[in-house]
Amino acid sequence: MTKIKLNILFNIFFIWIAFSSCKPDKVDEPIPLETGHINFKFLHYIDGQPLQKDSMMYVNAAGNIYEVDQLMYFISDVTLHKSDGKKIIINDWKDIDYVDTDIPSTLTWVVYDSIPVGAYDSISFTFGINSEKNKSFMFVNPPEVNMMWPDILGGGYHYMMLNGKWRDTASLIQNYNFHLGIGQLYKSNVIDVDSIYAFVPNYFNVNLPNSSFTIEKDNTREIKIIMNIDSWFKTPHIYDHNYWGGNIMQNQAAMQMAKENGYDVFTVGN
């Protein structure tokens, strides 16, 4: 074998040795987190008792005799808080949930997300849909599409429709549509779409009191979220149907009162 061929073979051998020595060490696979799951069950109460729809049996703080016929609403950006400041936002499958007292399947939200095990201090969420997400035509199928808010009034979707009847000062039965969504400001207080000069978002953040819980490995935690409907009408403002009338969609003052009354509407059930 010639000297030149030997040199070539030696060079190939040393190159192979060099590449072999540069192989990266094996990377350990990350240890998977232990997780469980969470479901939310939505309940609706008046005066501490389960809602009975279509029944003129309730009296609010203003003395209005009233009933509830329909209740539909959105919650979004549900957030689980830990004591060390860490938080988990539920959004793997969906981040906006629709609740409708006429559709039993919407009264339980089976959350797709896997939730790391451990203790959680509290739960918060947005009542309604924030401005960034609340866009027209993002829902194309019922029942969610039926919550559409007119584009001319700000677009997107209602945060809530609470519909029913009340007995007015003349003992006549009147319809009310207690609706929350995007508000409008009007020039010279003229309620006409041509005089709108600004829109007001009326969604708000809810921090559920006494909502600590624990997630255990491979188990599902059910959390009951109660809407106390009577609270829409009494704290911190006493809401009078006789004063505000049946429709509040284009009345930002009424929607502002409803928004401020909404902060303590929700509690956690046992």
The residue extents of the domains of the chain are 34-268
Q: How high is the pLDDT of residue 231?
A: 98
Dist. CA 166–CA 78, nearest whole Å:
33
Q: How high is the pLDDT of residue 185?
A: 96
Q: What is the pTM of this model?
A: 0.86
Q: Can you list the residues of the chain whose pLDDT is less than 70?
A: 1-32
